[in-house]
Amino acid sequence: MIPEQQQERASLYALDALAGAERDAFERELRASNELRIFVRELQRSAGLLAMTVPQIRPPQELRSKVLERVKSESDAKTTDTNPAGFRFADAADPSG
Amino acid sequence: MGRANWASSCGRTHQVMLEPKSAEQHQTELLRRIAAQDHQALADLYDQLSGPLFSTAIHILGDQREAEEVIQDVFVQIWNRAASFDSELGVPFHWTLGITRHRCIDYLRARQRRTRLLDDATTETEILSRPAASTSAHDALSEGELARVRATVQTLPPDQKQAIELAFFGGMTHQEIAETLGEPLGTIKARIRRGMIKLKESLKAYV
């Protein structure tokens, strides 16, 4: 059972309403508890549904090509590290498997 | 319409709502590929998420041109930051929504600065007219399901709904919400907790 105060922090976190040190501290709690991670994911999915409650407007067709062209030109122009540190996909399938 | 039939009749973004776990696995994999500089993965993610992200941006900004600029910025950020997505801390759609909302708030703040600088100049915003038939993403979500989600949000007590919306669409922290509403911080935290848990329970089929 998740304590009420932790539920409060989880709810704020799911709405991005925690900031600074409080956010960092909560993320440490999150990494330490599978039960809390499940709870937060459900809250985040609920928050995601809030985005569906506004009028759904289709982006203009040309926006897709603008986005992809802009990303292409910026990535071509930039020398990037293709495997930066901090890459974490804890729950994703192992691509080598 | 049954859930399975509804799912099969829907377009790209139905995965966001209907099958959150499998959609999340797929989106997590797309982010992994994006982090490895895979342009096709970015195109696929755009096809899945641009509709709700664009709609959210328009709702916050009330200006289609700015929303289009925001969406370009958002996908550039997704491209640049995909490697920092941490699936221990959240789900992909929520992560991209966070980027979108923060970018919108940046635009709103810039707009306020511009307005102040121009003093009496009027910043014209192009508020979209929203005729449902022409603009709704009918190919993405069933109107019935959308109506059910909206109705659930409407069942929240007004004070809970207000606090949640100020955080979600207004980009405010709990301290800022407490200051804005002139309420104690503890009251705001409790309000948001009760509202979010009610949403989670009421929308259990989708989360």
Distance in Å, alpha carbon of A76 to nearest chain B alpha carbon: 11
Asked whether residue B167 carries a pLDDT value surpassing 70, the answer given is yes
Confidence at residue B27, expressed as pLDDT on a 0 to 100 scale = 95
> pLDDT averaged over chain B?
82
CA distance B73 to B53: 12
Q: Which residues of chain A make contact with B187, given a CB cutoff of 8 A?
A: none
For residue B161 the two structure tokens come to 């709904």
Closest partner residue to A53 among B47, B153, B200, by Cβ? B153
Average pLDDT over residues B155-179: 94
Asked whether residue B113 carries a pLDDT value surpassing 90, the answer given is no
State the DSSP string of B81-125: HGGG-BTTT--HHHHHHHHHHHHHHHHHHHHHHHHHHHTT-----
Query: Could you give the 3-state DSSP secondary structure of residue A88?
Result: strand
- Residue A88: strand pairing partners: B86
pLDDT tens digits along B78-107: 999 999 999 999 999 999 999 999 999 999
Across the interface, whether the CB atoms of A82 and B20 are under 8 A apart is answered no
Closest partner residue to B32 among A8, A86, A92, by Cβ? A92
Asked if B71 reaches chain A (Cβ–Cβ under 8 Å), the answer is: yes
Asked whether residue B143 carries a pLDDT value surpassing 70, the answer given is yes
Confidence at residue B13, expressed as pLDDT on a 0 to 100 scale = 45
Confidence at residue B122, expressed as pLDDT on a 0 to 100 scale = 44
Asked whether residue B162 carries a pLDDT value surpassing 80, the answer given is yes
Asked if B98 reaches chain A (Cβ–Cβ under 8 Å), the answer is: yes
Number of CB atoms found within 10 A of residue B109's CB: 11
Closest partner residue to B174 among A12, A80, A92, by Cβ? A12
Q: Give exposure, B122-142, as e/b (b: 16+ Cβ within 10 Å).
A: eeeeeebeeeeeebbbbebbb
Distance in Å, alpha carbon of B45 to nearest chain A alpha carbon: 11
Asked whether residue B121 carries a pLDDT value surpassing 60, the answer given is no
Across the interface, whether the CB atoms of A59 and B206 are under 8 A apart is answered no
Asked whether residue A82 carries a pLDDT value surpassing 70, the answer given is no
Asked if B17 reaches chain A (Cβ–Cβ under 8 Å), the answer is: yes
Q: Which residues of chain B make contact with A74, given a CB cutoff of 8 A?
A: 76, 79
Confidence at residue A20, expressed as pLDDT on a 0 to 100 scale = 92
Confidence at residue A2, expressed as pLDDT on a 0 to 100 scale = 93
Average pLDDT over residues B65-87: 97
**CA neighbor of B166 nearest in space, from A23, A93, A12:** A12
Flag whether the pTM goes above 0.90: no
pLDDT tens digits along A20-40: 999 999 999 999 999 999 999
Asked if A77 reaches chain B (Cβ–Cβ under 8 Å), the answer is: no
Across the interface, whether the CB atoms of A46 and B192 are under 8 A apart is answered no
* Contact assessment for residue B61 and residue B74, using Cβ atoms and an 8 Å cutoff: no
- ipTM of predicted complex: 0.78
DSSP state of B12: T
CA distance B163 to B181: 9
What is the CB-side half-sphere exposure of residue A18 using CA atoms within 13 A? 19
Asked whether residue B147 carries a pLDDT value surpassing 90, the answer given is no
* Contact assessment for residue B97 and residue B56, using Cβ atoms and an 8 Å cutoff: yes
pLDDT interval class at B204 (50, 70, 90)? confident
Average pLDDT over residues B108-118: 76
**CA neighbor of B96 nearest in space, from B116, B113, B82, B109:** B82
Average pLDDT over residues B35-54: 96
Which residue of A13, A46, A83, A96 is the best one to mutate when testing the B interface, meaning the one whose CB has the most B CBs within 10 A?
A: A46
Average pLDDT over residues B103-119: 80
CA distance B40 to B43: 5
Closest partner residue to B141 among A16, A52, A68, by Cβ? A52
Instruction: Determine the Cα angle at B207 with ends B145 and B49, to 5°.
Output: 70
pLDDT tens digits along B186-197: 999 999 999 999
For residue B26 the two structure tokens come to 């797929």
Asked whether residue A90 carries a pLDDT value surpassing 60, the answer given is no
Cα torsion at A96, B19, B90, A7 (round to 10°)?
A: -140
Across the interface, whether the CB atoms of A51 and B150 are under 8 A apart is answered no
> pLDDT averaged over chain A?
85
Cα Rg, chain B, nearest whole Å? 18
Confidence at residue B62, expressed as pLDDT on a 0 to 100 scale = 94
